[in-house]
Amino acid sequence: MWKLFLLGFVVATLILETEANEYLGFNVTGFDRIEELEYSYSKYSSNFNPLMVGLTLIKEAGAKGAVCLDGTLPGYHLHRGHGSGANSWLIQLEGGGWCDNIRNCVYRKKSRRGSSNYMEKQIQFTGILSNKAQENPDFFNWNRVKLRYCDGGSFSGDSQNTAARLQFRGERIWRAAMDDLKAKGMRNAKQALLSGCSAGGLAVILRCDEFRNLFSRTTKVKCLSDAGLFLDTPDVSGGHTIRNLYNGVVQLQGVRNNLPHLCTNHLNPTSCFFPQNLISQMKTPLFIVNAAYDIWQIQSSIAPPSADPSGYWHECRLNHGRCTPAQIRFLQGFRDQMLRAVSGFSNSRKNGLFINSCFAHCQTERQDTWFADDSPVIHKKAVAIAVGDWYFDRAEVKLIDCPYPCDRSCHNLVFR
């Protein structure tokens, strides 16, 4: 009972924070709200005794100019593998939104999203990072790394703003981290998986082929993007909220030169920050995990307060159970766009898909959505099993759920 009370308190607090942030016009806290609610559901819905892993700062990064927004050193959390997994490496890129203008980036550099001074000294390794076979059957004994996200540009920028004392060095952080991990044994990997959630999931798509080139031809290398399929789609007012956001990131942070040239040869840089224009050109096998009704995209891209001044979408944004039939039809249209975006990608045997009809965001890091007794499933297959089957070539995995509301296994995020 006390667990239910605590969960209710957390949800109620998030409602108040959500409404305050919407009133003020902020959406930079959207990822934090979702992350807190995901953590609460995961903690109070399972036996919660996670592995805690300490932060390692990358000492050589400073000399390479590979620094966080505020100039502090970047870092990662590493838990060593053992046994059959001793020479296998899983790199998880942390997510957490973007900053697209000076004001937002200055705000961000005073948080863990922009400075290692504010990062937790220890974090929990759950879901795909868990060290328990019963929680993470295929990757529990691998070397598992979480690379912290402190650049605000999906590990892709290389610029600075001297007046505001901002460093946009995401691409350098990426390279410095890979160099450091190679020196710690990753260069000898027999198997490797690059994964990431949200903005980290986008970074996986942007950096996947580079990651493949870090290893010998005999190393099995694949990539996993969770909740990284951000669509270039109009918002409810007909505006282009997410395109404007991405354009700001690309221009401010000097992302252009670090985008895949196969894309920039025929599309503008902002278009090449959208996964739908990249995934079919990738050479390295990629698995996409995404909720068809991605809750962050609903709240911050499709129906943000800025595109909904009348508040018509307010209740639906917080709780899908309060959406009108017309709003559900609009969201079904968003799902249709997502399926069209992956149609060509899914034709390649090397790629994999798990698109469930849930109102969720990031399902590989949470234990309850990655692998538990009541995890979300498609055709009776949980995310962890689907990813494992694909990575180890046990089966071809192209799982697409039926439309909402048919899936009763979802762990939907509800803010009211």
Instruction: Give residues with Cβ within 8 angstroms of 116, minimum separation 6.
Output: 55, 57, 68, 72, 73, 74, 75, 148, 150
Is residue 294 flagged as an active site residue? yes
Of 77, 79, 320, 361, which is the active-site residue?
361
| Dist CA 406 CA 250 (whole Å) | 38
Write phi, then psi, for 86 (nearest 5 degrees).
-60, -30
Is residue 401 flagged as an active site residue? no
Of 70, 235, 294, 389, which is the active-site residue?
294
Of 9, 3, 18, the closest CA to residue 313 belongs to: 18
Instruction: Say whether 326 sits in a helix, a strand or coil.
Output: helix
| Dist CA 11 CA 14 (whole Å) | 5
Of 42, 116, 195, 198, which is the active-site residue?
198
Place of tokens 């007794």: 373
Of 415, 316, 411, the closest CA to residue 371 belongs to: 411
DSSP per position, 293-323: T-HHHIIIIIS-GGG-TT-TTHHHHH-GGG-
| Dist CA 138 CA 81 (whole Å) | 12
Q: Are 207 and 105 in contact (CB under 8 A)?
A: no
Is residue 40 flagged as an active site residue? no
Q: Are 204 and 102 in contact (CB under 8 A)?
A: no
CB atoms within 10 A of CB 406: 9
Any idea which residues carry the catalytic annotation? 198, 294, 361
